[in-house]
């Protein structure tokens, strides 16, 4: 690895790379070599790690639909991807912490694989493809590891603080003959994942570029009368055909009208199946994933291309908080303070609009902001859309309305990548709850609020990287009311005139 590459200059990286051709991004295997080096450096600095320790990780496994033989498209487990960049299922990987030497173990495939699945590759093929030091078959894992005489195998076991699920620890027949420690690795590797290298940033810039363009395609194509899922489909099509993104980072949220206030709309029980109507506000939260790296972008805009005065007022309130937060972001800033900043701007703006009345400091005391923004301001982003490392030991969740939904309460550092996604929503359940609570209802002008029932919601979500003196905005979509209206008018101008010509015939 050259110095240039160690600093993360992707263009300077030589050797094999992942590439899907055309205009898609070339991601060098050196990205993962640097990740492994950073992990080993950290582990060697940990006093609990003995000499001659070996990291052992198990990759994701191929799965089928329920009891059938219908395969589900494989996507690598995120920690394993971060460490090895291996796209195939059913592998293991090991790293000698002292030397940094890496080993990948691949399954020995049956002869029938060559008939049904394609060419069976030899270990040497994978060694070159992933630029690791050794590749062996999985059934040799015990003897290969034993020959290295490790003092300890460091395996990955720890809680994902977003899901509460525990990562699957590596296991194989014969592991009982080794000394295993499953406590040390998880916090160390999670910490490595929190800070992105320049090469990782380059990939996240790419996922953002493609996903931003895909959002713009949707804004160009939307017409009253179309289905929400047509927009989802168009987004996915653009991401895959132009960006090589087979997966999205999460299920697309394509809410129109009141559905824009349903925070995780789009799931199987509410599958983006409403018809987009005139006067609807659309809240589309979608992000493409390339080589397991995520993006997470929300655009909110009027279906017909023109904001009503009320839509404009709420939209600009959210834009104001988004921009205030972006201006304040820099290393050393505590993320919960950014959430509080957004909340305060929302309360001030809602007071100007007339929905709220009274003293904003007093509203803050009764957590009124969480009625309108029940979710957190944003989260870490990387290989997972809700990336790991949000709550390491010593960082505690703040158990207050709104703030408790934050997926991280960390102090920002250079190299962190986060979403900034303030929103204002009119959610009946929360509004009724506030109206029934005298400590909150005294701030609400119910007459004005009535006008906003069934309004839906506005979210503006961008992805950012914390830089030395501020931040870098990765997302690039029309954001101000003027930009959105001009973009949609220009994009739809041609199709609209075509429609009117057609109707004259
Ligand atoms: Mn998000």
Measured in Å, residue 424 CA sits from the centre of ligand 1 at 15
Mean pLDDT of the chain: 96
Measured in Å, residue 250 CA sits from the centre of ligand 1 at 9
Measured in Å, residue 408 CA sits from the centre of ligand 1 at 12
The string over 219-255, giving b where at least 16 C-beta atoms fall within 10 Å of a residue's C-beta and e elsewhere, is: bebbeeeeebebbbebbbebbbebbbbebbbbbbbbb
**pLDDT band for position 135 (cuts 50, 70, 90):** very high
Query: What is the C-alpha separation between 275 and 255, in angstroms, rounded?
Result: 10
Query: What is the C-alpha separation between 482 and 252, in angstroms, rounded?
Result: 26
Average pLDDT score over residue span 157-186: 97
Measured in Å, residue 167 CA sits from the centre of ligand 1 at 22
pTM of the full structure: 0.96
Measured in Å, residue 303 CA sits from the centre of ligand 1 at 22
DSSP state of 267: S
**pLDDT band for position 498 (cuts 50, 70, 90):** very low
Residue among 347, 354, 352, 317 nearest 451 (CA): 354
pLDDT at 331 over 90: yes
Please write the tens of the pLDDT for every residue from 19-46: 999 999 999 999 999 999 999 999 999 9
pLDDT at 504 over 50: no
338 contacts 329 by C-beta, under 8 angstroms = yes
Average pLDDT score over residue span 364-385: 98
Cα 186 to chain center, whole Å? 20
Measured in Å, residue 35 CA sits from the centre of ligand 1 at 25
Measured in Å, residue 456 CA sits from the centre of ligand 1 at 18
Measured in Å, residue 375 CA sits from the centre of ligand 1 at 10
pLDDT at 263 over 50: yes
Query: What is the C-alpha separation between 219 and 222, in angstroms, rounded?
Result: 6
Measured in Å, residue 282 CA sits from the centre of ligand 1 at 16
Query: What is the C-alpha separation between 156 and 116, in angstroms, rounded?
Result: 34
Measured in Å, residue 335 CA sits from the centre of ligand 1 at 15
Average pLDDT score over residue span 241-270: 98
**pLDDT band for position 1 (cuts 50, 70, 90):** low
Q: What is the DSSP string of 344-372?
A: HHHHHHHHHHTSB-S-HHHHHHTTTHHHH
Measured in Å, residue 337 CA sits from the centre of ligand 1 at 18
102 contacts 133 by C-beta, under 8 angstroms = yes
Q: Which is it for strands 253-256 and 281-286: parallel, antiparallel or unpaired?
A: antiparallel
- In the chain, what's the furthest Cα-to-Cα distance? 83
Measured in Å, residue 374 CA sits from the centre of ligand 1 at 13
Measured in Å, residue 142 CA sits from the centre of ligand 1 at 42
Measured in Å, residue 376 CA sits from the centre of ligand 1 at 9
pLDDT at 501 over 50: no
> Under 8 Å CB-to-CB from 361, ≥6 apart: which residues?
none
Question: What share of the chain in percent tops pLDDT 70?
Answer: 96
> Under 8 Å CB-to-CB from 378, ≥6 apart: which residues?
335, 338, 418, 419, 420, 421, 461
pLDDT of residue 505: 38
Query: What is the C-alpha separation between 484 and 215, in angstroms, rounded?
Result: 12
Average pLDDT score over residue span 130-152: 98
Query: What is the C-alpha separation between 37 and 43, in angstroms, rounded?
Result: 10
Measured in Å, residue 420 CA sits from the centre of ligand 1 at 8
Coarse DSSP helix, strand, coil percentages of the chain, rounded to the nearest 5 percent: 40, 15, 45
Measured in Å, residue 255 CA sits from the centre of ligand 1 at 15
Question: What share of the chain in percent tops pLDDT 90?
Answer: 94
Average pLDDT score over residue span 456-465: 98
Measured in Å, residue 332 CA sits from the centre of ligand 1 at 22
Helices and strands counted in the chain (H then E) = 17, 18
C-alpha distances in Å from residue 91, one per residue of 35, 120, 151, 257, 405: 18, 15, 23, 46, 35
Measured in Å, residue 296 CA sits from the centre of ligand 1 at 5
DSSP state of 72: P
- Long-range contacts of range 108-114, CB-CB < 8 Å, 24 or more positions apart? 108/137, 108/138, 108/139
Query: What is the C-alpha separation between 98 and 152, in angstroms, rounded?
Result: 12
Measured in Å, residue 251 CA sits from the centre of ligand 1 at 11
Let me know the angle formed at the C-alpha of 417 by 414 and 419, rounded to the nearest 5 degrees.
135
14 contacts 131 by C-beta, under 8 angstroms = no
Measured in Å, residue 65 CA sits from the centre of ligand 1 at 28
């Amino acid at each position: 690895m050259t110095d240039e590459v160690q600093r993360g200059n992707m263009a300077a990286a030589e050797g094999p790379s992942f590439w899907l051709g055309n205009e898609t991004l070339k991601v060098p295997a050196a990205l993962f070599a640097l990740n492994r080096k950073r992990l080993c450096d950290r582990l060697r600095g940990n006093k609990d790690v003995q000499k001659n320790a070996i990291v052992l990780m198990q990759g994701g496994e191929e799965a089928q639909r329920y009891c059938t033989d219908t395969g589900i498209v494989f996507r690598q487990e995120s920690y394993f991807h971060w460490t090895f960049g291996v796209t195939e299922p059913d592998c293991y990987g090991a790293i000698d912490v002292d030397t940094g030497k890496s080993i990948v173990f691949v399954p020995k495939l049956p002869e029938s694989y060559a008939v049904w699945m394609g060419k069976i590759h030899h270990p040497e093929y994978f060694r070159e493809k992933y630029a690791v030091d050794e590749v062996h078959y999985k059934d040799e894992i015990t003897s290969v590891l034993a020959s290295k005489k490790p003092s300890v195998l460091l395996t990955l076991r720890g809680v994902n603080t977003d899901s509460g699920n525990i990562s699957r620890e590596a296991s194989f027949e014969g592991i009982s003959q080794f000394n295993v420690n499953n406590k040390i690795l998880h916090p160390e590797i999670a910490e490595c994942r929190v800070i992105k290298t320049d090469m990782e940033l380059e990939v996240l810039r790419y996922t953002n570029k493609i996903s931003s363009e895909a959002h713009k395609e949707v804004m160009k194509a939307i017409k009253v009368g179309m289905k929400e899922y047509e927009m989802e489909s168009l987004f996915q099509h653009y991401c895959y055909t132009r960006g090589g993104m087979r997966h999205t980072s999460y299920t697309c949220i394509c809410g129109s009208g009141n559905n824009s206030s349903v925070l995780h709309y789009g799931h199987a029980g509410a599958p983006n199946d409403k018809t987009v109507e005139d006067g609807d506000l659309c809240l589309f939260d979608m992000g493409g994933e390339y080589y397991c790296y995520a993006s997470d972008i929300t655009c909110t805009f009027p279906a017909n291309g023109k904001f009503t005065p009320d839509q404009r007022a709420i939209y600009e309130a959210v834009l104001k908080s988004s921009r205030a937060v972006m201006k304040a972001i820099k290393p050393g800033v505590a993320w919960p303070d950014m959430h509080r900043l957004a909340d305060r701007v929302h309360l001030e703006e809602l007071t100007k609009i007339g929905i709220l009345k009274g003293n904003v400091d007093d509203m803050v005391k009764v957590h009124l902001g969480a009625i309108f923004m029940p979710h957190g301001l944003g989260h870490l982003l990387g290989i997972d859309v809700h990336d790991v490392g949000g709550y390491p030991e010593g960082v505690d969740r703040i158990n207050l309305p709104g703030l408790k939904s934050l997926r991280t309460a960390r102090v920002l550092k250079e190299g962190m990548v986060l979403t900034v996604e303030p929103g204002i929503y009119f959610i009946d359940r929360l509004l009724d709850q506030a109206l029934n609570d005298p400590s909150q209802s005294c701030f609400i002008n119910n007459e004005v609020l009535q006008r906003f029932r069934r309004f839906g919601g506005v979210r503006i979500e961008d992805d950012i990287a914390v830089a030395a003196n501020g931040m870098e905005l990765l997302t690039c979509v029309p954001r101000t009311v003027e930009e959105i209206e001009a973009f949609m008018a220009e994009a739809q101008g041609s199709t609209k005139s075509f429609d009117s010509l057609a109707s004259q015939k």
